[in-house]
Structures are given as structure tokens and as C-alpha cells.
Structure 1
Amino acid sequence: MFSLQGLLVLLMSITHLSQAHLIPHFRSNATEQEVIAPGPIITRRASPSNSVFAHFMVGFTANYSVSSWENDIALAKAKGIDAFALNLGPDSWQATQVSNAYTAAMNQGFQMFLSFDMTAWPCQASSDANPIRQFISGYSGHPQQVNIDGKMLISTFSGESCPFGTGDVNTGWFNTVKANLPPTYFVPALFVDPATFGGYSAIDGVFNWNGAWPMSNDDINFAGDQPWINGLGGRTYMAGVSPWFFTHYGPNSFNKNWIYRADDWLWATRWEQLIQNRDQVAFAEVITWNDYSESHYVGAIDGVQPNSQSWTNGFDHQGWLDLMSYYITAYKTGIYPTITKDRVFLWGRLYPAAADSPDPVPRPNNWQWTQDYLWAVVLMQSPGSVTLSCDANSQTFNVGAGLSKLKLPLTTSCSVSSKIVRNSVTTVQFSPPGFNFNTTPPSYNFNAFVAASPP
């Protein structure tokens, strides 16, 4: 996750931001917390379950209006997203944008919950808890707030090193999000050994952020989720699901320059794993709706980019949304939806992983973990043939009804196209504009180019 403190310094340098006041319904009536010993762990399972959330970076919304939020909400809602997890930092303008988000959610019949980015919030002193408690008090009871078992859902990014002036992290979080507050359902993303979850009685569950990608040069598998589920002892497991990861900041910037392995249809494969194990996965959180800095956005490219334009502009990811919607239906219901039209979903990098470039920022770390392929998922009403092409490089596959995952190696500069044929009739002819593989990259851009045939 991108450090919001560092990011906001950057944003302030490129955008004139006004320091807005806290919104009217945001109450600051939280009192200084006492050090209260947490009680024993209670086995619990979230109800309702199998909801889908999307992680939303408030730090990139400095120029948003309520209508901007409404546009994102309308799109997310149409694709099956139930709520945005609002990743927020401590700046007052972000509080204003959170207010706008909840207002837009009310207008659109959508939901929100707070996810505190603990790479930005101070959390060592007991007084550091006060602004977080104010947020919780301010949005408790809001009609668009996500509630689980009658309790306000609260999450974080990180927070495993936050004692809030107490002797340990568990007590610190209990005093911050539980003590003398309206009931909360606390599901943070803690980067700790899941075998230690028994010592965290303050949590109602955990969000497994890094479970969204393989952390090595391997395909993703659900075996990596099992220690988290086991460690929670019946408490809520929220799984991460993501299509991609690439960030490319040099040593003179934020010094973040690596990929995680997204080969072998990560977006599709991860969803299939969550669907197959949906009885163990209470919630799925999409990483992310709008984090351009790490290339895993699925919403429109909007807002204020954190100097990620060089690898984000021209790389729209909304082609992933309808495929996501197909999987969300299956995750929520346990039944894959009926396919009513043949569709092709295509994605891949535009440049060879090993090719040299004049880019002053080096090739990203872990670049060896990816191969040069066109990745395709097709939805078929009935059996037929699918042809994937990049100019003269072409391969035809005979596939059955339903969903199939296909790939085509990319070796020379060429333009991507695809075709579905059934009974000698072409049902889909799709050549996405701009999907051009180039063996002489102008930069080390490992972002995905994504396209979907028309619905």
C-alpha cells in the first residue's frame, strides 16, 4: 500500500488543495479512552456473508465532488460491488471526501465503511486514538454504513505495530475501536503470522491483503488462505482478490518498483478459488477500485494520480468489470450465471519482460516472474471455436459452453485480435484499439492493457 503521508506531500505540490472543515454530521464526542483489558475470544461468523467490497483510495480524490463519487458508485453497484472500503488518512480534506462519499452513497443506495490507513495515522501515543474514535462515533448509525450483526464494520490497512500508548497492540486496538464506543465489528488487515491471531481478542476477523497475489513465482492457490482461516478460530475471514500488481517509482521518488505475479489468469483463478471455498470466505475485498500507483485499479481512471501517469494513462482496466460481475454472482449465490452472449476478455503487457528500455527507472523487481502472453477468458453460450491472434501469430481453440481460459505467446511486435466462430458463423470479432505488443519498449511499463468485447 502506498504511504498516504508521502503521497499527500506530493499531491499538495501538484494540486492546490483547500483545507476543508469537518462535515456537519461528523461528531467529535469521543472521550479519552481507558486502558480496558479485552475479553476472551468469542467464536463468531459474520452474517450476512459473501458480500463483496472494493478498496477505495480516498487519498486520490482531492478533486472529487459528490457527483464524482456517484459516478464511481453507480458503476460499482452495477457490477455487484456492495460497498466501498474507504482507505483514509488523517488529513481534514480526506474527512470532507469521506463525507461526500457517504452522501453519494445515500443518493445511490450504496454502502460504505471506514478503513484506516495505518501507514499514515500515528498510533503510538494514547491520544493518537482520539481522531480515529471520532470518525467511528461520527459515522456510527449512518444509514449507508455497513453493519455486521448490528455492529459497525471497521477495517484498516496495517496496524500491527500500533499500541496506542498501551503495553501491546491488542489492548491498544481494543481501546481505540471498542472501548466506550458504539458496537464495532473490527476486521483489520494485519501483517502478522496468522498463528498469532489467538492473541488478538480485539478483532472480529482479519482481512488477508497479501492473499490477493502469490508472493513468489508460483500460481496462486487457496492453501495460502487456510492458515488465516484456521488461525481465526471461527471468526470472520475477508479475502483479498486482485487482477494485477505493478508499481514503478524510482529511488528519487517513493522507491517502489516491483511486480507480483499475475500470470495464468490471476483475476479469474482467484475468484474461482473464493467461489469454491465460499463457505469459509465471509467477505471478498477487491484490491482495488482506484489505486493507480500499484496498477490494480478496476474503476475508471479519475481523481488525482500520485505521479503514476507514465504507466497508467492509456491503460484502462474497466474491461475486467464484467468478468468480475460474472464471478461475483457465483460467489454470492453459489451458482454461476447463465451466459446469454459470447464474450471475450483480453489482457496482457504491451512489452516483453526482458526487453531493454531507456527508462531511467530500472526494470521492476521480480520481473522474471512474468511471461509474455496474451491472457484471454471467454464466455460461451455453447461450444465453438476461439481464435486468438497477434498479426500472423494465431491459434484456434475448440472450447465448450461456459468459461474457458486461453493464452497466446507474444514474441514479435503485433496487434491483438480475437474471434469466436460457431457453425461457420462469426459471433464475435474483436480487435481492441491500442492493444499493440511492441518489442522495443519506451519504458519499463509492466501494467496490463485490458479489453473486453461489447456486452
Structure 2
Amino acid sequence: MRLFYTLAILSWGATKAHAQVVCAHFMAANAQTYSEKDWKNDISLAKEAHIDAFALNMAHSDVSNKSLTMAFDEAQAQGFKLFISFDYAGNGSWPIKDTINLMDQFKDHPAYFKYESRPVMSTFEGASSRDWPKIKNETDSFFIPDWSSLAPNAANKTFVDGLFNWAAWPTGPSRMNTDADHAYIDALNGRPYMMPVSPWFYTNMPGFGKNWVSRGDDLWYDRWQQVLDLQPELVEIISWNDYGESHYIGPLRDKAFGAFSVGKAPFNYAKNMPHDGWRKFLPYVIDQYKNPNKSIAITKEDVVTWYRLRPKNACNTGGTTGNSKSQGVKEYPPSEIVEDKVFYSALLNSTADVVVEIGDKKVNGKWANVPDGGRGLYHGSVPFDNSVGEVRVSIARNQKEIASIKGKAITAECPDDNKGMQNYNAWVGAGNTLSLSLRMSSFLAILVVAVVELGLF
């Protein structure tokens, strides 16, 4: 039996010659006013979440060398990696000399991410440019572009080392599937696939011609389960700080909200809508992805919840559609895309009960998804229908509470600040519990105090 297990490990290792990597799409334009402290904080938080690198999305003339230099130096100090993703959609195509010069400036930096000993270079679109073979050759880059405007077979050029797929969201009122992932994997035929993972999508920026919502709901849970099943060579989280598309998992920063003005958004739908809770279980799922044959320890049982703050029909749509014809997919009314539910995931060593309270309504929740063996990530939801009030999600085992979250209130009121429009962004909260080791330490500390006060020591 032991020999069989050893052979299985060796066989798996033979098919996965490279360490698997998780990066996060980072809008470098939103960091134009970053201080060293800001870069330090973002990189530190990403490392805590077990993210390996930031893919620095940059439109032409969008980012200063001063900001990039701070970023690379701070990444080196923390043992983190960065690589450039050239955005050819934001401000059009980059002049070839500028693309090459920027790669040459940073590709040899100790913090630059390399794959197969070559600096990784990615894109957001740019499929029509004929410059890439020359750019790749002159910079000796490992080229993994996102050319999702093309079908996978068409994007799979001979000079491409791998492909990144931007299609991280369902195209209708359904949960996410892996059809697009399999199409990329088949087209690449053994070359690396960078799989997209995203928790949400909502944008209302008429200045950029964008105003649609995709189904998020169960997406953050579903997509990581699909990563665990498919085991791609690379994963890119969309995104760390794209507030304008509502799929950020990094911290809210007022100084990084400039896109709402430039994009002529009718209101700032990211303000006071934290998504930090979506990082809570990343260390566990990323470690599980990288070590599929290893049991990952759970030292802290906890819960995360997310939901919209208003019933889907409470406010006017603001012209928002469900999906967008501009993306080549069928449009729906937003009310057919989003669900009026409180979603929750819990990391548990064994099954437990979940209770959701909305105002004076209390519901015993159920688990729609249970990990094999009963240990790991659980997921479920309860409808909030027309219930309003403060939200509380709690997890208990044998009638003893393990973790809980007191969340922002759900309301049917449409604030003037939003011009009466629905905010389709999510509010995300995470529970506050002590790790098992800290619980034991606290118990021992109380025991010592009691012993001393009783004169037994």
C-alpha cells in the first residue's frame, strides 16, 4: 500500500513539472497615488492569503515609474512576485518600443515573476497586434496573453507559451461551469493554462460604455472547487483592486477610487462595501490546490457571508442589464440574474449547524455543498425575500457557537446618494474566532490565574 501511494505521488509529479501559482489581477492605475506603506500593506495582505504574485494591469501612459519601482522594491523585501500585463483595450495598443522598454526595465528585477526561468508577460487583449513575436523574442519572455476576444483555438498562436482566459463569470441565470476552461486546455495541448477565478461582477460606468451585472452569488465557492478539480498550472484571481467592476478582494482605499469619476459612474458602488472576507479561506483552498494529495490542517473554524443590501426589485435598475450584448452574450433583466439570498461558506473540521437571522426573522440554514469526509469547506445560502434588518450568521456544533458574523442591514430603501438606483455590488463579512491554538492558550492563561489566586502555586 505504501509503495502504491509513493508511485501515485511520483506519477502526479511527473505530470506537474512546475510549482502551481496563484496570482491576482492588479489595476496598477489605481495605485498611482500609493505610498510605500500602501504597497507594503497590499503585498502583506496578499501574502497572508497565500497569493504568489500580482499581475500588474497597465494601459499605456497609465502608470508612473516611481509607483512601479516602489512596488517592485517592496515585493522584493517581502519575497513576493510581480509581472506585467499589458492592457491593449484601455488606451489602445502600446507602441512596440514602450512595451519592450518597460519589460527590459523590470524583467531582471529579483521580484519579477519567472516561469521556466523566463519573465512572464501577459496582456488584456491585444490579439490584433502583430508586434508580439518581436516583443517576446527581444525580451525573452514567457508569453501568456489574454485574448478572450478570440476563440481558444484562434488565440493559440505558435509563439504563445500559454493562455489566460478572462471568462470567469456565468453567461446567464445559472451557476458557473468549466466549458470554457476545457476548451482552453484542449487547445493548449499541454502548454500552461492560466485559469480565471472571480467572486463577482457589477459595473455601471457609462463613460466606459459599461453597465451590466453577472451572476456572482455562489461563484466564489464554485470556482475554487473547479480549480481543485481541474488543477491548472496557473490561477489568476480577477481581481485584487478593480473597484469599478466590483470583483475586488483587496482592501477599500479611497485614494484608489478615481475610476468612478473617469468612468462617470452615477454613484460609488464600492464605498463601504468591503470584500476582505473573500480572502478568509484563501490560504486553505490555495494550499489544497497546490497540494492535492495532502491533508491541509484546519486550525481555525470560521464563517464568511456575502449578500446584496437590497432586494433585487426594491430600486430602479439604473439601466443595468444582466450580462451584456457587447460581450457577445444574451442579455437578461437583472432580476433574472441575481438571487435574493444570503450566501455563506464555513471552514469546518466536521459538520455544524448554521442559522441566519435577518431582522426578527430566524432561519435554520442548510449546506448545499459538503466536503468529502465532512472536513473542509461547506457552502450554502438562504433566501431573504422581502425580509429586512440586520443580518447575523452563526455556526454552532452541539448547540455551542463556533463562529458568527454580524452583517450590514438589508433594507428596501433606496438612498438618494445612489439616485434611487440598485447597487448590485456585494457586502462581504467574515467571522471573528480564535484559532484552536489560541483558544487553548487562553484557557491555560485563565487556569494559571485561577491557580495563583487560589494560592495553589
Quick check: TM above 0.5? Answer: yes
1:80-95 matched pairs, under 5 angstroms = 80-91=50-61, 93-95=63-65
Whole-angstrom CA distance in 1 between matches of 2:361 and 2:298: 29
Aligned residue number for residue 203 of structure 2? 247
Out of 148, 151, 170, the position equivalent to 2:118 is: 151
Q: Alpha-carbon deviations, 1:258-297, whole Å to 9, x = none? A: 011112x10011011011111xx11000100000000000
SS in 1 for 2:379: strand
SS in 1 for 2:381: strand
State the one-letter code of the partner of 1:153. V
Are the structure 2 counterparts of residues 59 and 386 from structure 1 closer, same or farther at C-alpha, using a change threshold of 3 Å?
same
Out of 193, 216, 229, the position equivalent to 1:262 is: 216
Aligned residue number for residue 17 of structure 1? none
Q: Alpha-carbon deviations, 1:346-404, whole Å to 9, x = none? A: 001111222233x7x33444412111000011122233311112123322247654322
Shift of 1:48: 2.4
2:169 counterpart of 1:213: yes
Whole-angstrom CA distance in 2 between matches of 1:258 and 1:398: 31
Aligned residue number for residue 153 of structure 2? 195
Aligned residue number for residue 417 of structure 1? 392
Aligned residue number for residue 79 of structure 1? 49
Q: Is the 8 A contact 1:301 1:316 kept in 2?
A: yes
Q: With the length of structure 2 as denominator, give the TM-score of the two structures.
A: 0.80
Aligned residue number for residue 96 of structure 2? 129
Whole-angstrom CA distance in 2 between matches of 1:92 and 1:407: 41
Whole-angstrom CA distance in 1 between matches of 2:99 and 2:55: 15
Are the structure 2 counterparts of residues 364 and 436 from structure 1 closer, same or farther at C-alpha, using a change threshold of 3 Å?
farther
2:105 counterpart of 1:138: yes
Aligned residue number for residue 227 of structure 1? 183
Aligned residue number for residue 306 of structure 2? 347
Q: Alpha-carbon deviations, 1:99-130, whole Å to 9, x = none? A: 22111111211111010011135438xxx211
Aligned residue number for residue 280 of structure 2? 322
Out of 74, 85, 95, the position equivalent to 1:115 is: 85
State the one-letter code of the partner of 1:209. W
Are the structure 2 counterparts of residues 186 and 454 from structure 1 closer, same or farther at C-alpha, using a change threshold of 3 Å?
same
Whole-angstrom CA distance in 2 between matches of 1:386 and 1:102: 43
Aligned residue number for residue 447 of structure 2? none
1:38-53 matched pairs, under 5 angstroms = 48-53=18-23
1:292-311 matched pairs, under 5 angstroms = 292-302=243-253, 303-305=255-257, 306-307=259-260, 310-311=268-269
Are the structure 2 counterparts of residues 269 and 99 from structure 1 closer, same or farther at C-alpha, using a change threshold of 3 Å?
same
Q: Is the 8 A contact 1:248 1:257 kept in 2?
A: yes
SS in 2 for 1:225: helix
Are the structure 2 counterparts of residues 145 and 401 from structure 1 closer, same or farther at C-alpha, using a change threshold of 3 Å?
closer
State the one-letter code of the partner of 2:362. S
Whole-angstrom CA distance in 1 between matches of 2:16 and 2:203: 34
Q: Is the 8 A contact 1:349 1:372 kept in 2?
A: yes
Q: Is the 8 A contact 1:421 1:428 kept in 2?
A: yes
Q: Is the 8 A contact 1:88 1:94 kept in 2?
A: no
Q: Is the 8 A contact 2:29 2:63 kept in 1?
A: no
State the one-letter code of the partner of 1:289. W
1:157-168 matched pairs, under 5 angstroms = 157-163=124-130
1:254-403 matched pairs, under 5 angstroms = 254-263=208-217, 265-278=218-231, 281-302=232-253, 303-305=255-257, 306-307=259-260, 310-334=268-292, 335=294, 337-357=296-316, 361-365=318-322, 366=332, 367=334, 368-397=336-365, 400-403=374-377
Q: Is the 8 A contact 2:53 2:83 kept in 1?
A: yes
State the one-letter code of the partner of 1:408. V
Whole-angstrom CA distance in 2 between matches of 1:350 and 1:57: 26
Aligned residue number for residue 5 of structure 1? none
State the one-letter code of the partner of 2:213. I
Q: Structure 1: any 5+ residue segments left out of the alignment?
A: 1-44, 164-171
More deviation in 215-224 or 78-87? 215-224
SS in 2 for 1:431: strand
State the one-letter code of the partner of 1:234. G
Q: Is the 8 A contact 1:362 1:444 kept in 2?
A: no
Aligned residue number for residue 10 of structure 1? none
Q: How many residue pairs align between the two structures?
A: 388
More helix by share: 2
Whole-angstrom CA distance in 1 between matches of 2:24 and 2:101: 24
Q: With the length of structure 1 as denominator, give the TM-score of the two structures.
A: 0.81
Aligned residue number for residue 411 of structure 2? 438
Aligned residue number for residue 26 of structure 1? none
Q: Is the 8 A contact 2:60 2:93 kept in 1?
A: no
State the one-letter code of the partner of 2:250. G
Shift of 1:174: 0.3
Q: Alpha-carbon deviations, 1:148-187, whole Å to 9, x = none? A: 1111100011111223xxxxxxxx3101222xx2421000
Q: Is the 8 A contact 1:136 1:177 kept in 2?
A: no
Whole-angstrom CA distance in 2 between matches of 1:248 and 1:155: 26
SS in 1 for 2:286: helix
Q: Structure 2: any 5+ residue segments left out of the alignment?
A: 1-14, 323-331, 368-373, 416-420, 434-457
Whole-angstrom CA distance in 2 between matches of 1:310 and 1:446: 12
More deviation in 302-311 or 265-274? 302-311
**Identical aligned residues as a percent:** 31
The alignment yields a C-alpha RMSD, in angstroms, of 2.1
State the one-letter code of the partner of 1:261. R
Aligned residue number for residue 25 of structure 1? none
Q: Is the 8 A contact 1:154 1:188 kept in 2?
A: yes
SS in 2 for 1:310: coil
Q: Is the 8 A contact 1:84 1:111 kept in 2?
A: yes
Are the structure 2 counterparts of residues 121 and 184 from structure 1 closer, same or farther at C-alpha, using a change threshold of 3 Å?
farther
Whole-angstrom CA distance in 2 between matches of 1:429 and 1:123: 49
Q: Alpha-carbon deviations, 1:198-254, whole Å to 9, x = none? A: 5x11210010011x111222211122210111111211100110000000124xx33
